[in-house]
Amino acid sequence: MAYETIRWESSDGVGRLTLARPESLNAWTEQLGRDLNAVLAGEAADPSVRAVLITGAGRGFSSGADLRAAFEPSPDDGLPNLRKALKDVYNPVIVAIRELPKPVVAAVNGPAAGIGCSLALACDLVLVAESAFLRLAFIGIGLIPDGGSTVLVPARAGKARAAEMTMLGERVGAAQALEWGLVNAVHPDEALALESEALAARLAAGPTRAHAASKRLLNAALYPHLREQLDLEAELQHELARTADFVEGVTAFGEKRAPAFRGA
């Protein structure tokens, strides 16, 4: 299939999924989410694909949700229907990656922020370029992490670091991400593509059913309530999108100034 916002190709058992909105650092729109869901349920699920590699086109992995793209209004109040967007479009991508019965590798070639960070950390193995960083930037617009980050981050890095990423929203550079256990390896920028390809090829040549069983066991141990947590994130995010702080956060972002939150 031809997709509007992603590229897909496969050979020698490796499926390569590239986010392809480089002009926005691969920011998420509803269409990108729908394309991801389609490829994960279709081509990526084909038995001939024994490992999947996800990366971003251009200078970034994914900068998060595209705040310039309007969310569908809620029929209740006309405000952004974040509950529907998360439950129908964003969250199924995270679930699909975790439940795909084969290894998924993230090659983080630049910024991975917001839902882009969630996407990377949902993968089984995460390789990052030296210049890349992770960031849960939601707090800057009066929101909370979503896309499962409230499960994925503490499972990888522990509660203290999850609280720091959630409540401060600061960048976590590649070296720090490795030290914290968020990622598996850091490579020079120019070597990331080659290293990630080699890892994906190694996994594709491995015992696929054993990889799938290992992934199922890790899911049971680390993310037994992933779906429930995604639903809770969606509900709380929907509530926060109706606060004055969210309006101020988005306004300040557009005006490129620091927000003046009032706790309301």
Is residue 73 pLDDT above 90, yes or no? no
Is residue 68 pLDDT above 80, yes or no? no
Q: Please report whether residue 42 resides in a domain.
A: yes
pLDDT at 78: 85
Instruction: Look at 8-22, 38-52, 76-90, 233-247 and tell me which has the smallest mean pLDDT.
Output: 76-90
**Six-digit token pair at 72?**
């569908």
pLDDT-based confidence at residue 67 (cuts at 50, 70, 90): confident
Q: Please report whether residue 201 resides in a domain.
A: no
Q: Please report whether residue 202 resides in a domain.
A: no
Q: Please report whether residue 92 resides in a domain.
A: yes
Query: Roughly how many angstroms between the first and final C-alpha of the chain, as a whole number?
Result: 46
**pTM (2 decimals)?**
0.96
Burial of 143: CB neighbours in 10 Å, binned 0-12, 13-18, 19+? buried
The CATH number of the domain holding residue 62 is: 3.90.226.10
pLDDT at 70: 65
pLDDT at 23: 96
Over residues 105-148, the pLDDT tens digits come to 999 999 999 999 999 999 999 999 999 999 999 999 999 999 99
The parent domain of residue 27 ranges over 6-191+207-255
**How many other C-beta atoms lie within 10 A of the C-beta of residue 217?**
10
Q: Please report whether residue 157 resides in a domain.
A: yes
Q: Are strands 51-56 and 14-19 parallel, antiparallel or unpaired?
A: parallel
Q: How many structural domains compose the chain?
A: 1
Instruction: Give the sheet arrangement for strand 14-19, strand by strand.
Output: 6-11, 14-19, 51-56, 104-108, 125-129, 185-187
Q: Please report whether residue 23 resides in a domain.
A: yes
Q: Please report whether residue 27 resides in a domain.
A: yes
Closest to 166 (Cα-Cα) out of 183, 174, 177, 154:
154
Over residues 161-212, the pLDDT tens digits come to 999 999 999 999 999 999 999 999 999 999 999 999 999 999 999 999 999 9
Q: Please report whether residue 264 resides in a domain.
A: no
Over residues 22-61, the pLDDT tens digits come to 999 999 999 999 999 999 999 999 999 999 999 999 999 9
Over residues 248-259, the pLDDT tens digits come to 998 998 899 999
